[in-house]
Amino acid sequence: MSDNSKTDLIKDIRSLLKYQKSLGIDSYPRTEGLQRFLEKREQPSAPSPPSRKYTRLVQVKAAIETREKHVFDPGLAKKATLADVRQELGDCTRCNLHKGRTNIVFGQGSEQAKLMVIGPAPSAEDDHGSAPFLGASGDLLTKMLAAIGLSREDVYLTSLVKCFPAGGQPPKEEEIRTCLPFLFRQIEIICPTVICAMGKQPAQTLLHSKESLFRLRGRFYDFNSFCSTELAEKMLIIPTLHPTFLLDNEEMKKASWQDLQMIQKKI
Provide the whole-model pTM: 0.75
Residue ranges per domain, the chain?
Answer: 78-266
- Model confidence band, residue 115 (pLDDT cutoffs 50, 70, 90): very high
Classify 73 in phi/psi space as left (phi over 0), alpha (psi -120 to 50) or beta.
Answer: beta
pLDDT in tens, 8-66: 677 777 766 666 665 555 565 666 665 665 666 555 555 555 555 445 444 444 544 54
Q: What HEC string does 27-74 produce?
A: CCCCCHHHHHHHHHHCCCCCCCCCCHHHHHHHHHHHHHHHHHCECCCC
Paired sense of beta strands 156-159 and 115-119, if any: parallel
Q: What is the pLDDT of residues 77-114, one digit of tens each?
A: 667 899 999 999 999 999 999 999 999 999 999 999 99
Fold classification of 78-266 is: Uracil-DNA Glycosylase, subunit E (3.40.470)
Cα–Cα–Cα angle for 193, 260, 256, nearest 5°? Answer: 135
Strand order in the sheet with 236-240: 108-109, 156-159, 115-119, 194-198, 236-240, 221-222
CA angle 160, 165, 171 (to 5 degrees): 45
pLDDT at 29: 62
